[in-house]
C-alpha cells in the first residue's frame, strides 16, 4: 500500500519535475545510442510523472511505464486520457516477473530512484538483463569503489499499515565497481556514471524523512534524508 507521502512525491512532479529528473534525462540524451532508441521502458514508474516529462522533451519516442501498484497505474492512465497523450502506455507489472514476450523489442530501460530502496541490486538488474535491451540507465545511491552499505531506516513519524509504530525503508549504497562488473558480465561493456549535484537548496523538515540539503564552505550542496547522506549517481550501460 502506498502511503500519503509517497503519493505526494509522485503528484508533485506532474507540474514541477524534480531537478534530478531533468538532469537525468539531459544526461541520457547525450549518449550516442539514444538517437536510435524508439521505445523505452520505465520500471517503477509510479504515477508516470517521470515519463510524462520525458515525453514532453522527446515526443518522437514511445514510453512504457510499469509499476506493481495498481492504484498508481490507474492515476497514470487517467492522466494520459485527460491530456490526450498517445505515445505513452502504462502496465501493472512486477519487476521480478517481467514478461519477455510483452516487452520484446524495447530499446532501453530506465529506473529512477528505485534500486537503493530494494533489498539488493542483483535480482532487479537480472530481470532487466533478461529483457535484453540495448541499454539500461538508472539513478540510485552509489560509491566510487569496492565498498557497499546496506542501511534500513526506521521512520517513527509514520507508523506502517501492519501495526508497527514505524515505517521501514532501505537506503542502500552500492559499489560502482561491482555494478560495472555485473553489467560487463551480462554483455554491457560500455559503462558510464556521473554524480548528481542538485543546484537548488532544499529545506529540512525535522519531522519528516524528506530530502534536504546542507551547503559546505566550498558552496557544494550535499543531500541528506534524516540522518543519512545521499550520494546520488546516474549510470548508463550499453551493449
Cβ count near 101 (within 10 Å): 5
Average pLDDT, the chain: 92
Residue found under cell 510499469: 66
| Side-chain-facing half-sphere of 116: CA atoms under 13 Å | 23
Q: What is the DSSP letter of 171?
A: -
Out of 1-10, 66-75, 114-123, 153-162, least confident range: 1-10
pLDDT per residue as tens digits for the range 8-37: 566 666 777 889 999 999 999 999 889 889
Domain, as residue range, for 75: 4-144+174-198+231-238
The number of folded domains in the chain is 1
Q: What's 130's domain CATH number?
A: 3.40.50.150
- Nine cell digits for residue 153: 531506516
Mean pLDDT confidence for 160-164: 85
Residue 194 has pLDDT above 80, yes or no: yes
Please name which of 233, 227, 191 lies closest in space to residue 212, comparing C-alpha atoms.
227
Residue 204 maps to a domain: no
Between CA 166 and CA 122 the distance in angstroms is: 28
Residue 31 maps to a domain: yes
Residue 1 has pLDDT above 50, yes or no: no
Residue 181 maps to a domain: yes
Please name which of 96, 175, 191 lies closest in space to residue 135, comparing C-alpha atoms.
191
pTM of the model: 0.91
Q: How far apart are the first and last CA of the chain?
A: 36
Amino acid at each position: 500500500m502506498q502511503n500519503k507521502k509517497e503519493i505526494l512525491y509522485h503528484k508533485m512532479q506532474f507540474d514541477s519535475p524534480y531537478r534530478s529528473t531533468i538532469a537525468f534525462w539531459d544526461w541520457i540524451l547525450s549518449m550516442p545510442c539514444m538517437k536510435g532508441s524508439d521505445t523505452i521502458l520505465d520500471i517503477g514508474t509510479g504515477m508516470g510523472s517521470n515519463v510524462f516529462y520525458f515525453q514532453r522533451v522527446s515526443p518522437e519516442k514511445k514510453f512504457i511505464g510499469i509499476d506493481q501498484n495498481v492504484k498508481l497505474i490507474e492515476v497514470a492512465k487517467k492522466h494520459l486520457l485527460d491530456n490526450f497523450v498517445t505515445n505513452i502506455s502504462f502496465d501493472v507489472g512486477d519487476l521480478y516477473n517481467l514478461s519477455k514476450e510483452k516487452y520484446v523489442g524495447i530499446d532501453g530501460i530506465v529506473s529512477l530512484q528505485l534500486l537503493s530502496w530494494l533489498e539488493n541490486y542483483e535480482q532487479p538488474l537480472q530481470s532487466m538483463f533478461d529483457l535484453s535491451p540495448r541499454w539500461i540507465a538508472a539513478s540510485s545511491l552509489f560509491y566510487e569503489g569496492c565498498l557497499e552499505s546496506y542501511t534500513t531506516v526506521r521512520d517513527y513519524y509514520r507508523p506502517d499499515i501492519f501495526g508497527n509504530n514505524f515505517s521501514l525503508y532501505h537506503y542502500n549504497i552500492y559499489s560502482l565497481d561491482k555494478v560495472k562488473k555485473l553489467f560487463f558480465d551480462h554483455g554491457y561493456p560500455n559503462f558510464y556514471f556521473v554524480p548528481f549535484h542538485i543546484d537548488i537548496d532544499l529545506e529540512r523538515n525535522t519531522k519528516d524523512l524528506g530530502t534536504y540539503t546542507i551547503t559546505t564552505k566550498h558552496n557544494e550542496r550535499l543531500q541528506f534524508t534524516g540522518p543519512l547522506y545521499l550520494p546520488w549517481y546516474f549510470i548508463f550501460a550499453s551493449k
